[in-house]
Structure 1
Amino acid sequence: MTNLKILLTTRKYIATAQLFLSLSLIFGTWVTYIPFISTKVGLSKGDLGIVLLFGAIGSIFTLPFGKKLVSKIGEGKLALITTSLYAISMLGNFIADSFFLLCVCLFVNGLSSALMQIASNSIVSTLEKKDNVSIMSSCHGFFSFGGLIAAGFGTMILIAINNPLIHIILMVSIVLILQAVFASSYLPYKTESHVEKNETKHYKKPIKNVTLWGLASVALCVMLTEGAIADWSGLFLRDVVLVSPNIVGLGYAGFSIAMTLGRFVGDNLSSKLGAWNVIVWGLALSIAGFILVLWANTFPTLSGFLLIGFGFSTIVPEVYRLSTNVKGVHPSSGISFMAGAGYFGFLTGPVLLGAIAENFGLKTSFLLLLALVTLGIIIATFIRRKKALAVK
C-alpha cells in the first residue's frame, strides 16, 4: 500500500485521483436511474440500446482529435473543461423528454467522458515519469471507489429524497466543488512542455503501430466485459442461477469491491512483478472466475464475480501505463487511442450482450465473454513475447 499512501499524502496526486472519482460519481448516478429515465421517456429495450450506443459513438469520435487537444491546450486545462462539461451535460439526461434529445445528451456524455479520460490518464503518466512514482492503478481505484459511493450512498439519497433531478444536481454540484478546490493543482500540466519540439518529428500515427493495436485490443476485451458485467450480472444471477431477488446485487457488489481493492494495491504489484506479468496473470485469474460464474450455482458464481473483479482490477491501468511508453508513438496519442478503444468497449458491452442474450440466452452471452477474455490473454501473451516489442 506504499504507493497509495504516497498518493493520499500528496496534494497534486489527490487532485489527479479525484478526477477519476468525479467521473464515476456522475456515471454511477446515471446508471442508477437508467430504468427510471427509460420509463419516463417511453423507451423500448431496443430504443434504450440505441440511446446507450450514442454514448459509445461519442467516445470513439474523440480518436482523431484527442491528442491534438491535449497538445494544444494541455491535459490540465482539458481535464477541467471536460470534467465540468461531462457533469453539466449529465443534467440533460435527466431533463430530456424525447428519444432524440436523450441520444444527443448521450453523445455529449460519451465525447466529454472519453476526452476526460484522455486528459486525466495523461496527467498521471506525466506525474509518474516526472516524479518516478507508480500511481496509475491507485488513481483508477478511485474510479471504482466512486462507483461504490454512487451505488451505496446514491441509493440512500434515492430513498430519502426520491427525486432524480435533485439527486443528479447534488452530484454535479459536488463534482464542480471538487474541481474548484483542486483545479489549481492539475491545471499547469501540459505534456508538450516536457517534450522537445524536434523530438515530435520522430513520432508516427498510433494507427500504424502494431503494439498499440495489441494493447488496445486487450483494453477493449476487458472493458467491454466489465461494462457487460455491470449491467447484466444481476440478471444472470436472477434468471440463470435463480437466486433470491434480494441478493442479485451481490455479484456486481463483490466484483466492484474486488476491483477497488485490487487497484489500490496494483501499483505495488506492478513494481514487484512487472506490467506484463500483472496483465497476463490478471486475465488468467479472470478466466478462472468466469468458469466459476458459469457453474451457475450461487456460491461458486458469486465467488467467480469476485475473482473476475480482482483479475480485471489492474489490467486497464497497466495497459494505459504501457500505452504512454510505446516507441515511435507520442504519449498523448497512445493514451487517446487507448481511451477511445477502451471506453468504446465499456459502453458497447452492455448493448452487445443484451442483443446476444435476447437471441441466444444469458448463459451463451457469458460464454462469449469468457471467450473474449481468453482472446485477451492470447493477444497479451503474443505481444509480450514478440521480440520486436516496441515498449520500453
Structure 2
Amino acid sequence: MALFFLQPMAFGAWLALIPYIKETLGLSKSDLALALLGMPIALIPTLQLASRIVAKIGPRKTFAFMLPIQTAAVLLPFMASGVVSLFLSLAVLGAFVAFLEVALNTYAGRLEKSADLHIMSRCHGFWALGVMAGSLLATVLIVVGPALGVFLVAAMSALIGVWAGLSLPRLLGEEDNASVKPQRLREMPKALFVISLFVLCVTMVEGAMSDWAAVYLAERWGGMSEDAGIAVSIFAGFLAVGRFVGDALRRRYGAQAIARLTVSLAIAGIACLILPFGVAAVFVGFALIGLGVSVAFPLGISAAAGLDNTHEAQNIATMAMIGICGILIGPPLIGFVAESFSLRAAFMCLIPGLILSFWLSRIFSRQ
C-alpha cells in the first residue's frame, strides 16, 4: 500500500502543472491533446513487454530499478520547447511508468488471492492519495520553481519507494508464474474482455479528469493557472475515499451493486460540470466523479485474477493494459473535441461510455 501511494506522486505533480506547461509553451487545446498522446502511444505497447520482464525479475527489483528512472523522466516535459518535444518526453515517461503499473497490480493481485484478502480497492485508494499528495506538493512547491518542485516530490517518493519495494515479501509460488506458457489471444476467457471494456469506459473518465480538471477549472474560475491544481486534488481525494470504502462495500453488497452505484455517481458528476451551474457545482462534480470512477479498476483487477489460477498474471496484465489505455486515451480525445467545440461538450462525450459500463456491470458476481 505504501508503494501504491509513492509511485504516482511524481505523476500527480506533473498533472497539477499541466496548465503551467500549456501557458509556458503557448499551446492550444489541440496542441496539448496531441502532446498528451505521447504517454499512451508509448505505454500501451510497452505494457506487454513489461508484463514479461516483471514476471521474470519480480516486482521488487522492478520498483528498485524503475522508481529512480521515473524521477528523471518526469522532468523531461519541463525541458520541452514545443509540441513535438513535449510529445516525446511524455512518451519516454509513459514507457517507464508501464513497468511500475504492471508490477504494482500484479503483486497486489497475487497477494489478494494467495492470502484470501480483499485489498485491491484500498491499494488503489493509496494510489489516488499519492496523486493527490503529489499534486498538492507540486502546487505548494511551485515557489521554488516548477521543475525543481516536481523533482523534489519525485525524488522523495522514489527514495522511500525503493526501500519499500525491496522490503516486499516473496509470495509462495511466485517463481512458478514466470515459467507458465502465455495464453494466445483466442485462448483468453471472453469474460476478461467484457470486464476490460467495463473498466475502459470508466477509466477514460478518470484520465479525462486527471488531465483536464485543472484546465477546466482555470477557465471557469478565471484565477491563476497554478491555483487550478486544486481541481485535481479534489478529484483524486474523493477517488481515494471511494477506494478506501470499496472493499467493505464489496463484501457487504457485492461487486455488481457497487459497480452500478459508482457509475451512476460518475454520470451525476459530469452533469454537474456541463450544466449551467456555478463554480460550487463544479467542485461537487469533481467530487462525485472521483467517487464514481473509484472502484472500477480495482474491481477489474480482482475479477481478472479470479478467472484463472494458472494465467492470473497474464490476465491481470491484460486487464491493466486495457484499463490504463482508458486513462491515457481519454485526455487527448477530450482535447480534440474541446478544440472544436468546448470542454463542456467534450465532457458530454463521456456519458455514453458510462451508460455502457452500467450495462456491462452484469459481468460481476453478486457474491
Compute the TM-score of the two structures, normalised by the length of structure 1.
0.82
CA distance in 1, matches of 2:83, 2:178: 48
Give the equivalent residue in structure 2 for 1:372.
353
One-letter amino acid matched to 2:161: Q
SS at match of 2:275: coil
- Is the alpha carbon distance of 1:40 and 1:144 closer, same or farther for their aligned partners in structure 2, counting shifts above 3 Å? same
- Is the alpha carbon distance of 1:49 and 1:354 closer, same or farther for their aligned partners in structure 2, counting shifts above 3 Å? closer
Map 1:121-270; keep pairs closer than 5 Å.
Answer: 121-159=105-143, 161=144, 163-186=145-168, 188-189=170-171, 192-193=174-175, 195=177, 200=180, 203-205=183-185, 208-236=188-216, 245=223, 252-270=232-250
Deviations 1:39-64 (A, max 9, x none): 55565544432221011111111243
Q: Which runs of 5+ in 2 are unaligned?
A: none
Give the equivalent residue in structure 1 for 2:49.
65
Q: Which runs of 5+ in 1 are unaligned?
A: 1-16, 386-390
- Is the alpha carbon distance of 1:233 and 1:201 closer, same or farther for their aligned partners in structure 2, counting shifts above 3 Å? closer
Tell me whether 113-122 or 166-175 shows the greater mean CA deviation: 166-175
One-letter amino acid matched to 1:24: P
CA distance in 2, matches of 1:196, 1:42: 47
CA distance in 2, matches of 1:205, 1:370: 30
TM superposition shift of 1:116: 0.9
SS at match of 1:61: helix
Give the equivalent residue in structure 2 for 1:355.
336
Q: Is the 8 A contact 2:68 2:158 kept in 1?
A: yes
TM superposition shift of 1:281: 2.0
CA distance in 2, matches of 1:191, 1:308: 39
Q: Is the 8 A contact 1:285 1:308 kept in 2?
A: yes
Q: Is the 8 A contact 1:70 1:190 kept in 2?
A: no
SS at match of 1:313: coil
Q: Is the 8 A contact 1:74 1:191 kept in 2?
A: no
Q: Is the 8 A contact 1:251 1:306 kept in 2?
A: no
TM superposition shift of 1:96: 4.2
1:303 equivalenced with 2:260 (yes/no)? no
SS at match of 1:126: helix
Q: How many residues align?
A: 364
One-letter amino acid matched to 1:319: G
Give the equivalent residue in structure 2 for 1:335.
316
Deviations 1:127-186 (A, max 9, x none): 212222221111111111122212223222112x1x223223312320232134323322
TM superposition shift of 1:286: 1.9
Tell me whether 108-117 or 96-105 shows the greater mean CA deviation: 96-105
Deviations 1:211-264 (A, max 9, x none): 11111112211111112123333554565xx55648966654443222111111
SS at match of 1:326: coil
Q: Is the 8 A contact 1:75 1:191 kept in 2?
A: no
Tell me whether 58-67 or 211-220 shows the greater mean CA deviation: 58-67
Compute the TM-score of the two structures, normalised by the length of structure 2.
0.87
One-letter amino acid matched to 2:347: F
One-letter amino acid matched to 2:349: L
CA distance in 2, matches of 1:365, 1:262: 25
CA RMSD of superposed structures (Å): 3.0
CA distance in 2, matches of 1:47, 1:379: 34
One-letter amino acid matched to 1:83: L
TM superposition shift of 1:341: 1.6
TM superposition shift of 1:32: 2.6
Q: Is the 8 A contact 2:17 2:229 kept in 1?
A: no
TM superposition shift of 1:78: 2.3
Give the equivalent residue in structure 2 for 1:324.
305
CA distance in 2, matches of 1:38, 1:245: 15
Give the equivalent residue in structure 2 for 1:8.
none
CA distance in 2, matches of 1:191, 1:204: 23
- Is the alpha carbon distance of 1:123 and 1:237 closer, same or farther for their aligned partners in structure 2, counting shifts above 3 Å? same
Give the equivalent residue in structure 2 for 1:283.
263
TM superposition shift of 1:25: 1.0
